[in-house]
Amino acid sequence: MESDGLCEMVVESVRVHMLSSQHVVILKELGRDRYLPIWVGPWEANAIAMKLQDLKPERPLTHDLFVATLERLGATLRQVVVSDLADETFRARMYLELDGRTLDVDARPSDAIALAIRGGVSIYATQAVLDRAGVEPEPDATEEGGDRLAVFRDFVNSLDVDLGDPPGGGPEGPPGA
């Protein structure tokens, strides 16, 4: 589904690169076999995976606390958008509604995704981001054995990974960039 240059996405999976232990969230475009891998930190990956698996922590995690705080303040998260890719770092926007106003908040994609799945709101990516970083499996990759995510296994395992800090000052940049 695409509207206003935005493509609706769903969280396909959260994966870990076995050699480097770096985490990646894989978003899938609705209605199309196109994926967007976004490198994230281990805490954010865990927060996303826990919610996807419907695991409830004993005490609220940071993302749960933020959602509860928004609710108490009367703000509603309406949607999140993976909006840009600059210097190998993804950027996101969260759109909140408060007292009839729409608020646009800058966010890391990992945090925006964690909040979106907690709030049950739509996740989008801009067409420009998907054009630059989207991955589509080869047509025969989905037919032979039916493993559509093999393209990511090959992609992730082929990386020349620097085990130091991710570039761009945060976990949203791809390793080795």
Q: What is the pTM of this model?
A: 0.78
Positions in the chain whose pLDDT score sits under 70:
1-4, 140-177
111 Ramachandran zone, left/alpha/beta (phi>0; psi -120 to 50): alpha
- Supply the pLDDT for residue 146: 56
Length of the chain: 177
Q: What is the pLDDT of residues 134-167, one digit of tens each?
A: 999 877 655 555 555 566 566 555 544 444 444 4
Which residue type occupies 174? Answer: P
Quick one: pLDDT at residue 137? 87
Predicted pLDDT of residue 18: 81
Distance, CA of 131 to CA of 177 (rounded, Å): 18
Q: What is the pLDDT of residue 120?
A: 95
As beta bridge partners, residue 9 has 29, 123
Identify the pLDDT of residue 107.
97
Looking at residue 66, what is its pLDDT? 96
What is the rounded distance in angstroms from the CA atom of residue 117 to the CA atom of residue 165?
27
Domains of the chain in sequence order: 2-136 (3.10.690.10)
pLDDT, residue 89, reads: 94
Instruction: Give the model's pLDDT for residue 170.
Output: 45
DSSP lists the bridge partners of residue 123 as 9, 80
Question: Two tokens at 71?
Answer: 């609710």
- Distance from C-alpha of 47 to C-alpha of 93, rounded to nearest angstrom: 19
